[in-house]
Structure 1
Amino acid sequence: MMSQPVRSMTDNVQVSHLPRQQNESQSTVCDEAVEKTKEDLPATAETANIEPTESGKPKRKPSFYLAVLSLMLVILIVSLDATALSVAIPVITSDLNGTSLTAFWAGISFMLAVVIVQPIYTTVSDVLGRKIALYTGFVLFTIGSIIFAVAHSMSILILGRIIQGLGGGGLDVLNEIIIADITTLKERPLYLGLMSVPMAIGSALGPILGAAFSEYATWRWIGWINLPIIAVSAPLAVFFLRLKPIERSMWSRLASLDWIGLVLFAIGITVFALPLSWGGAMYPWSSWRTIVPLVIGIVVLTVFAVYEARPAHPVFPYRIFRSRTAVVTLIGSFIHGMVLYTLLFYMPLFFESVFLEAPLGSAVSMLPLLCMVTAFSGLAAWVVEYVRHYRWEIWLGWVLLTLGTGLFAVWDVNSSLAIKSGFQVIAGIGMGALFTVLPIPMQASAPTAEDQGLAVGVLVSFRLFGALVGLAIGSTAFSSTFGHGISSLGSNLPKDVVILKDPNQAIGFIPYLRQLRNLTAEELNAIRSVYRDSMQTIWYILTGFGGFGFLTSLLTASLTLETEELSRQYFDGDMA
């Protein structure tokens, strides 16, 4: 067995400066973490026949870069699709004669499906192979995109979004897992930086394209635009993503899957996530329709967590969570997803309701945030590639995220462009840095190189689950504050806005604020102030979570990045 570099299971020591020889002499720390058969042992760049360059880094063949391009296109389509719909939902709902309820499910169904399937893709790809899971993601995402684009009713559109989520969840998590498979930890910051570019570009362009399609063409292009990108990405993956196959028969791999764990997780996370999505929106949090499934989901997930100590290939291996650095990084990823995705949902609504901007204008107003996320998600990873340390970037990222999010509370109807843009820049730098730097300690803390892909898959799942929880918290905070704010205006609301007495109608009514003609300037400003105060509550909550993320990040250890081991599903450029 090849010696493994030391991983402190308690992270109480700094190992980034330990000599390589000393690291190898202490490799027995990880031997108890996982049992391997001979064919499952991790390879190195040397044993995988990858020639080094003069700098010592692996010399890659053209097929490797074409495979990386395929993964970058995967990230682009998922990022575009995940962010394009929110600004177009009012137009879609009107066009398909939908209701507030169907509009709600059109918006949340994709996220729910992604949260449910990501851990399943992670464990299935670890046992059956990455490419089988990747191809499944491509097929489901393509089918879902077509159904969405041709839908003539809200129910069919929601079905398309669910199928897109079932595929998109796999594509989203597998691109990061496969990058962990085909690169060494030593060179990974460079590729994490490259992968962040299409993610950030997609997140920036998504709202703009969604608004442009819905206003000037047709919202159906939100689905159609995925197809040409898939038509390029999928063939590149088929012909150039040459991963070393798992040396076991398909039947033996199927038999080794944790079927009971998969079923328990799928049931538990579905029953738990559904009331999180509708609590405070469809039903009150005090309703039995929210409480009962929430409790059942918690019970099933608890049974799942206890059971996971038994299987040989569990969905969530306990060994991934034994490191203190892994635990605090997962907490950070959860909070990062909570803050980022909640802001991406509510910020355009803030611009539309408080500043009375059109959907396209609100998407453009978000460009400072999105551009900073784009730039610094790549830059931060490349800085780690250069300096070989990551903790200070994580700490600085949390400080900027917390500061910038807190400053959003200063915004009001009279805020200048400089104030609106400047605060977004601060928050965007922090969010971008954390997006690509957090996976580095998560992978460095993995017991073996074999577990690095699994570790980053778990991290991505935590990020998206944080997004779901953040949206639930945001919905509850918004509805509660909005209800109190509207009540404070008195019972004699103008008839044009009397619908706002029901806080559940507040989001759907935003596009009509610009069209109100019978309200005086004072009455309209009062309504805008209620929207402002309601979203200010969300900024305060997210700021508090950002501060907690910073405090937990102080427990992150500085682990070595100087390892050259590859996963058993490494890139095999010599395969036919």
Structure 2
Amino acid sequence: MVFLVSLDATTLAVAIPAITSDLSGTTLTAFWANISFTLAVVVIQPIYTSFSDIIGRKIPLYAAFALFGIGSIVFSVARSMAVLILGRVLQGLGGGGLDVLSEVIVADITTLQERAVYIGLLSLPMAAGCIAGPILGAVFSEYVDWRWIGWINLPVIGVALVLAIFFMRLRPIHQSLREQLFRIDWLGMLIFMTGCILFALPLSWAGNMYPWGSWRTIVPLVIGILVLVAFALYESRPTDPVFPYRIFRSRTAQMTLLGSFIHGMVLYTLLQYLPLFFQAVYLETALKSSISILPFCCVVFVFTGIAAWAVDFFRKYRWEIWAGWVFLAVGVGIFSLWNQSSSLAMTASFQVIAGIGIGTIFSVPPIPMQASAPTAEDQGLAMGIMVAFRLFGALIGLAIGATTFSGVFASKINSIPSLPASVALLKNPSEAVGFIPHLRTVDISPALKDLIQGAYKDAMQTIWYELAAFGAVGFLSSLLIKELTMETEELSRQHFEPESD
């Protein structure tokens, strides 16, 4: 499951320009191929967590496999960006469950004392998926067909589903289906979904479809915020809320969730824009750009394992979280030093610095999050909520990134006088991503091409500045996290059930 989610999350970014060009998409629809997936994940993850806590993990897990498979097929047969985005939404509804339930189930079947080791083990398939993903995405889009990005998921789904059916044995929840359905916070889920959608949509189109000052941007954004505030107030009422208040009472939990939000914002925005940076600024092919970001992908997921095993060895986690945020903020901040003439050593080494921080913050904060849970019963729920916060951060980061990119690119490209007909369409920032594959071969003077590359560079450089600033906020919040004990052997009520039982 972890391999499948990490593979899918990283194959698309390098192929986005080729897909956009093939399906005659715009910059907005290109970004929405990722934003729609992330929005679906954000909306559905708390629902999976809540459902599985009440009716058990298996039925929600099987539903996630089914949705992800259907979404992969819809993506693969798409003949327009609208259908492709629909496929990505279905994939998100399934992938959100696979992502969160993989971590929740690990919390179910392990004690807090041994959990760091298992989080480290999960980094191995995660690393394999994230290293293979960009390369496969580039190979498919350049030499085969980008549609294989979706088809490749199906055999992996088949293997993972069979293994889950035959080898995942969790203790059942002894309660009638009627009682279980009655306990589910249906109204809370509906309010949460509505608030998330209303909040995210205007962030993605602000500066693209409509100005920031337009009522079409401001009205849904304000309504979305108000709905989310209403959801937060409502959650004190249900017996089994989507986000129980007790999970948030600890200062350690509050700061860890804030850090998880920022971490998701930084990680997923970088996965979107790093390949585009190398393709637009260094005129690399999709395959070459996937190789160029390997230092980042490899180090992120190597340090996901190293940091988790270090927690298990030292039995302390605060110093690792602090160091991780420093590496993240500094590493992403110095991306802004890259330009068209930067050396391979410079681009690779800066990625290593950022990767150390992002990998560390991936695996260490789940330990204090679960240690802060009121009981062992709540540790899986706490983990699920943390994953949801990480993906909510990803959604906001992708939306802000799309707005920043379009706004800065439009400003820079409009400052270039008299664009020839072959590149005049770049005056419309909605064409910027789809034009990237043609930038290498377009017949214009080297000086003009350098100016256009500079516009792409400046747009993404602004994104690096924003992410580095959020990384600094993450470091400050981490100073308030407490060093809680990990020496507990309590198990949740759905823990692993040996065959001898």
TM-score by length of 1: 0.85
Q: Quick one: which of 156, 174, 186 aligns to 1:229?
A: 156
Judge which range, 80-89 or 389-398, deviates more: 80-89
Matches within 5 A, 1:323-402: 323-402=250-329
1:573 matched to 2:494? The reply is no
Matches within 5 A, 1:69-80: 74-80=1-7
Q: Which residue number in structure 2 is paired with residue 516 of structure 1?
A: 442
Q: Which residue number in structure 2 is paired with residue 526 of structure 1?
A: 451
Q: Quick one: which of 442, 461, 465 aligns to 2:392?
A: 465
Q: Secondary structure at 1:545's aligned position in 2?
A: helix
Q: Structure 2 CA distance, aligned partners of 1:537 and 1:105?
A: 20
Q: Secondary structure at 2:112's aligned position in 1?
A: coil
Q: Quick one: which of 410, 416, 427 aligns to 1:501?
A: 427
Q: Which amino acid aligns with 1:497?
A: V
Q: Is the 8 A contact 1:272 1:294 kept in 2?
A: yes
1:539 matched to 2:452? The reply is no
Q: Which residue number in structure 1 is paired with residue 209 of structure 2?
A: 282
Q: Is the 8 A contact 1:146 1:224 kept in 2?
A: yes
Deviation (angstroms), 1:481: 2.1
Q: Structure 2 CA distance, aligned partners of 1:437 and 1:493?
A: 50
Gap change, CA 1:553 and 1:100, over 3 Å in 2: closer
Q: Is the 8 A contact 2:26 2:433 kept in 1?
A: no
Q: Structure 2 CA distance, aligned partners of 1:344 and 1:522?
A: 30
Q: Which amino acid aligns with 1:558?
A: E
Q: Is the 8 A contact 1:89 1:107 kept in 2?
A: no
Q: Quick one: which of 177, 192, 206 aligns to 2:119?
A: 192
Q: Structure 2 CA distance, aligned partners of 1:511 and 1:267?
A: 37
Q: Which amino acid aligns with 2:98?
A: L
Q: Is the 8 A contact 1:138 1:171 kept in 2?
A: yes
Deviation (angstroms), 1:302: 1.5
Q: Which amino acid aligns with 1:292?
A: V
Q: Which amino acid aligns with 2:62?
A: Y
Matches within 5 A, 1:105-254: 105-254=32-181
Deviation (angstroms), 1:201: 2.3
Deviations 1:74-117 (A, max 9, x none): 01111111221222233333434445554343332211111111
Q: Secondary structure at 1:515's aligned position in 2?
A: coil
TM-score by length of 2: 0.97
Q: Is the 8 A contact 2:17 2:435 kept in 1?
A: no
RMSD: 1.5
Q: Which residue number in structure 2 is paired with residue 262 of structure 1?
A: 189
Q: Which amino acid aligns with 1:361?
A: K
Deviations 1:494-515 (A, max 9, x none): 2222222222322222221101
Q: Which amino acid aligns with 1:572?
A: E
1:292 matched to 2:194? The reply is no
Q: Structure 2 CA distance, aligned partners of 1:294 and 1:489?
A: 33
Deviations 1:48-78 (A, max 9, x none): xxxxxxxxxxxxxxxxxxxxxxxxxx01111
1:559 matched to 2:454? The reply is no
Gap change, CA 1:101 and 1:297, over 3 Å in 2: same
Judge which range, 155-164 or 410-419, deviates more: 155-164
1:312 matched to 2:239? The reply is yes
Deviation (angstroms), 1:323: 0.3
Q: Structure 1 CA distance, aligned partners of 2:207 and 2:389?
A: 23
Q: Which amino acid aligns with 2:176?
A: S
Q: Secondary structure at 1:134's aligned position in 2?
A: helix
Q: Secondary structure at 2:79's aligned position in 1?
A: coil
Q: Secondary structure at 2:440's aligned position in 1?
A: helix
Q: Structure 1 CA distance, aligned partners of 2:165 and 2:436?
A: 45
Deviation (angstroms), 1:281: 3.0
Q: Which residue number in structure 1 is paired with residue 382 of structure 2?
A: 455
Q: Structure 1 CA distance, aligned partners of 2:105 and 2:231?
A: 26
Q: Secondary structure at 1:186's aligned position in 2?
A: helix
Gap change, CA 1:545 and 1:354, over 3 Å in 2: same
Q: Structure 1 CA distance, aligned partners of 2:229 and 2:178?
A: 30
Q: Which amino acid aligns with 2:385?
A: V
Q: Is the 8 A contact 1:87 1:359 kept in 2?
A: yes
Aligned residue pairs total 501
Deviations 1:356-381 (A, max 9, x none): 10111111000001110121001110
Q: Structure 2 CA distance, aligned partners of 1:476 and 1:222?
A: 26
Q: Is the 8 A contact 2:200 2:399 kept in 1?
A: no
Structure 1 or 2: more helix by fraction:
2
Q: Structure 2 CA distance, aligned partners of 1:486 and 1:335?
A: 30
Gap change, CA 1:100 and 1:483, over 3 Å in 2: closer
Q: Secondary structure at 2:340's aligned position in 1?
A: coil
Q: Which residue number in structure 1 is paired with residue 364 of structure 2?
A: 437
Task: Provide structure 1 residue ranges, at least 5 long, that are not aligned to the other structure.
Answer: 1-73
